[in-house]
A = this chain, B = another copy of it.
Amino acid sequence: MKKPLYQQVISDLENKIKSEMKPNDRLPSERQLLKEYGVSRNTIRLALNDLEERGIIYRLHGKGTFVSTIYLDQTNLGSMYSFSEQMSETGHKPTTQNRTLELVTPEEDVANQLNLRAGEKAYKLVRLRLADGVPLMYGETYLPEKIFPNLKMSDLKENLYTVMKQKYNEQSILAFEDVQAVNLDEKDSKVLGVKPGDASLKIFRRAINDKNVPIEFTISLARGDRFIYRSRQYNHLV
């Protein structure tokens, strides 16, 4: 389990930023950092690039590298893909309860999302995700049987995406996510431990592999008071 150097630098800097620094504080210069960590400048820049992309720092040519405004008291998730990682990064203890796994013939809308023909089945996985023991997100995930044959509850001790990769050699390359605000009904509010009527994020996620085949469809409900959906939007033009 040896991590690359630049990832160690990332973790270390991230911890320092979160524990010791304020927004707009200046970080040591790249040349100072390479001495401190005993690595090359390239390695330092790999680490800083990552932190910059994730919006944790920003750089100003000729001036230095600075701490961005960080969203502290809330848990920020980029997407569900990175649930565990982002939780640990923000110092929370993430857990996932796999509740049920069954083979079903999905409703028409789910079947359409997964490009299933009539009669084709999918595994339905119901999960509850918690941070520090508090329910945060409730989700139903549908996985086509033809792509993930013989999926078992015992596989799911691992991260779902690890299982996809290792047992089935499948990987989501692109996911479309739709996010909506809803008022929770009696039943869902109970699951998430809040009041009926409280605002919640409803997230629809459709993931496809490198052959453009849908491999996952998930509907989640996340507590509005504890969950922020974060995304990056690029405007690339030539």
Complexed CA–CA distance, A79 and B180 (Å): 12
Given A68-B174, A75-B233, A174-B55, verify A23-B179 contact (CB < 8 Å): no
Given A183-B199, A199-B199, A224-B182, verify A69-B109 contact (CB < 8 Å): yes
Which residues 177-196 of A have a CB within 8 angstroms of B? 177-183
Task: Determine whether A171 belongs to the interface, using a CB cutoff of 8 Å to chain B.
Answer: yes
> Main SS of chain A's interface residues?
mixed
- Chain B residue with the shortest CB-CB distance to A55: B176
Contact B179 A230 (CB under 8 A): yes
Chain B residues closer than 8 Å to A23, beta-carbon distance: 112, 212
Given A69-B174, A179-B179, verify A212-B59 contact (CB < 8 Å): yes
Contact A200 B199 (CB under 8 A): yes
Which residues 84-102 of A have a CB within 8 angstroms of B? none
Chain B residues closer than 8 Å to A175, beta-carbon distance: 232-233, 235
- Mark contacts of A223-236 with chain B using CB atoms, 8 A cut-off: 1 yes-contact digit, 0 otherwise: 01001111111111
Which residues 58-94 of A have a CB within 8 angstroms of B? 58-61, 66, 68-71, 74-79, 81
Given A180-B229, A183-B198, A228-B179, verify A173-B58 contact (CB < 8 Å): yes
**Closest CB in chain B relative to A102 CB, distance in Å:** 23
Task: Determine whether A201 belongs to the interface, using a CB cutoff of 8 Å to chain B.
Answer: yes
**Closest CB in chain B relative to A56 CB, distance in Å:** 8
Task: Determine whether A105 belongs to the interface, using a CB cutoff of 8 Å to chain B.
Answer: no
Chain B residues closer than 8 Å to A69, beta-carbon distance: 109, 112-113, 173-174, 208, 210-212
What would 23 A/B residue contacts be, using CB atoms closer than 8 Å? A14-B238, A23-B212, A42-B42, A53-B234, A54-B236, A69-B174, A69-B211, A77-B233, A79-B233, A81-B233, A161-B238, A173-B236, A176-B231, A177-B230, A177-B233, A179-B179, A179-B230, A180-B227, A181-B182, A181-B199, A181-B201, A181-B222, A197-B197
The 10 closest A-B pairs by CB, nearest first: A181-B224, A78-B233, A199-B199, A181-B199, A179-B229, A69-B112, A181-B181, A231-B231, A181-B201, A175-B233
